[in-house]
Amino acid sequence: MRKICAYTEDTVETHFATNPNNSHRLFELHNLHLANTLASIDLFSHGTLQQSMVDSAMRIMGSPNNMLAISTEFFVGTHQRIPTLSRYRFNKNLQSLSPGSRADFATLCLSILLIQQMPTGKTTSVQSPLYVAVKNFINLLELSNDLSIDLAHCRVLVTFYEMGHGLHTAAYISIAASARTARALGLHRRIRHDVRVESDKLTLEEERRTWWAILIMDRFINLCNGDAVFVTDGSERTDPLPIEDLLWSEIPDPADLERLITAPPTLDTPFTITVGQMARECQISHLAGRVVRHVFDPTPDRNFNVEEGSQLERSLRAYLPLLADEELKIGKYCGAFGVCNRSVAFSLISSMTPSLRS
């Protein structure tokens, strides 16, 4: 909406879901001194680099209990808007959070801490010291060639943060970095059905969700920027969609999810069949990508463009009543509904004559 978001630079307000008495408690980031943090890191020693990053991240987090409270709120709040991270795997790693943890996991904790920042009403920059620290930690991980699924999650969360806070140029660049990180890990290949029987299903679903999240943001950012050049591949009709989000977030035993992950809905699942919130966003984002190409990179054949525009508009309008109903069930947020509405508007504009467009 092109408005300035108000955040403090040295505090994070978080509502601790596990303790109602602490619902308005402030987590103070007294130890966030970015210049001193980076100055103490030996960039040419992988072991020292890892340890220095973890030590600095632990000082920022304050304690494992603080991180537990913040991540608990993340999984019942923000995670529902971008449900890529495996809660089961994260909590398992969090139990052993210590100065000996991996730097990529420590950076993921900081990314969650960043995205959980809450407005306080003061007009200050969202490019806070914590934001700068997380971006620098991600760059240091890439510098050390330490690629992992946790690093991919860091990229995704930072891009989501930048999108949400109007950092349009940063988000435009970050989505490309997210896609490259995911491709380097081979996540773009996990989207297909040809999966080995012996593959870990929980890991497979997490990797698929991470790639879908990047694709969704890629389509949305390009829709906003008027850019027809995507950094993610186009989807196929038979590509598997994410499973039901609440099951993904809440079921503690991964074995209970294996059957669902093995036989997920696909992109061409009829809109009359109920799917999860993220799966619906995948379907709408696929159409939004078609709209972006149609509007900003049309073919020389005007008759084809008119026919394609009409077909896209009909498809999107068919989804609108369903998405409006789903938005009521979801609550205050339905990404698919917003993207669908914006795509309809663009498809209508594309059908106008040049004089009406202006």
Contacts of 59 (CB under 8 A, 6+ apart): 31
Q: Does residue 42 sit within a domain?
A: yes
- pLDDT tens-place string over residues 167-198: 999 999 999 999 999 999 999 987 775 555 55
Q: Does 40 lie in the same domain as 169?
A: yes
Count the domains in the chain: 2
**Which of 231-235, 274-278, 284-288, 320-324 is predicted least confidently?**
320-324
pLDDT tens digits, 83-142? 999 999 999 999 988 888 899 999 999 999 999 987 666 656 677 889 999 999 999 999
Long-range contacts for 343-348 (Cβ within 8 Å, ≥24 apart)? 343/223, 343/284, 343/287, 343/288, 343/291, 343/312, 343/316, 344/313, 344/316, 344/317, 344/320, 346/223, 346/291, 346/292, 346/295, 347/291, 347/294, 347/295, 347/309, 347/312, 347/313, 347/316, 348/313
In a domain, 229, yes or no: no
pLDDT band at 70 (very low <50, low <70, confident <90, very high): very high
**Pair (18, 130) in one structural domain:** yes
Q: What percent of the chain has pLDDT over 90?
A: 40
Q: Which tens digits make up the pLDDT trace of 290-310?
A: 999 998 898 899 889 888 888
Task: Name the pTM for this structure.
Answer: 0.84
**Final residue in a domain of this structure, among 169, 185, 201:** 185
**181 lies in the same domain as 241:** no
Could you tell me the residue range of the domain that residue 92 belongs to?
1-185
Residues 28 and 145 in one domain: yes
Q: What is the mean pLDDT of the chain?
A: 81
* Structure token pair of residue 208: 């698929």
pLDDT in the model for residue 91 = 93
The verdict on residue 2 lying in a domain is yes
How many Å apart are CA 191 and CA 195, to the nearest integer?
9
